[in-house]
Amino acid sequence: DYHPESHWLNVAEIFTHSSNVGSALMAERMGGIRPRAFLSRLGLTGKVSLELPEVGAPLVPSASNWSEITTMTIAYGHGIAVNAVQMASAVAGIINDGVKVQPTLLKASQHPSAPNKIVSSRTSQQMRALMRLVVTHGTAKQADVPGYLVGGKTGTADKLNGKHYNENARRASFIGVFPITSPRYLVMVILDEPKATAKTHGYATAGWTTAPLVGKVIGQIGPLLGISPIEPDIALAAEQKLLKNLG
């Protein structure tokens, strides 16, 4: 773990603190078949359907090369490479009451007649609660925007240099969703090799680079989209109702 905690972590803490160890252990317990099938259900193992012929295929290990180590590393984002459209679509489906969202470059007003469920409604509610905790208590505190109930997930990956990872070159990303209690918009930002500065206290990870950037974007586009910030007491009540889904 990049910033290991000093105590045993529960599932919410594994997600909130981006614990690679915890994610790998959970994946190991499930085995390789179920995680691979779930990635396929999310649309992350095949070429995304989009109105562009230039869309590339993801880099995914074949079934014959899918080892126990593959299962564990993919659990925290290594060992697989997908494009931003696929990632945004997968997250959108998970938070959209579990109904798969088909990415498109066209303004669409019609909804599919037969919704494709990728997770249950209960799981979707729990994932939204976890994404809110990432912003309030985890790695993305700087993505919070008063009155907009932002939820999200950070991602920081060292880049490959030959057959080894370069600890001084990384790709940082953050997916922000608002309002997380009733999602309407998703904002994803990726920075290629962000640099640590005095303002980021020497860090170049997603929590210090892409998360605050997404927060600024949401703070500016929220009013333009006609979404007014809600009062603190109403926001707190909505947040508490959401978090009850975690028990």
Question: pLDDT band for position 111 (50/70/90)?
Answer: low
In the predicted model, is pLDDT for residue 211 greater than 80?
yes
Question: pLDDT band for position 113 (50/70/90)?
Answer: low
Angle between helices 121-137 and 84-95 (to 10 degrees): 110
In the predicted model, is pLDDT for residue 158 greater than 90?
no
State the average pLDDT over residues 209-232: 95
Instruction: At 84, list the tokens.
Output: 């931003």
0.85 exceeded by pTM: yes
CA count, 13 A, side-chain hemisphere, 54: 0
The rounded mean pLDDT for the chain is 92
Give percent of the chain with pLDDT exceeding 70.
98
Using one digit for the tens of pLDDT, what is the confidence trace for 89-108?
A: 999 999 999 999 989 998 87
State the average pLDDT over residues 230-236: 95
Question: pLDDT band for position 161 (50/70/90)?
Answer: confident
pLDDT given at position 192? 95
In the predicted model, is pLDDT for residue 145 greater than 70?
yes
In the predicted model, is pLDDT for residue 54 greater than 80?
yes
24 Cβ neighbours under 8 A, 6+ residues apart:
72, 73, 75, 76
The enclosing H or E element of 146 equals none
In the predicted model, is pLDDT for residue 133 greater than 80?
yes
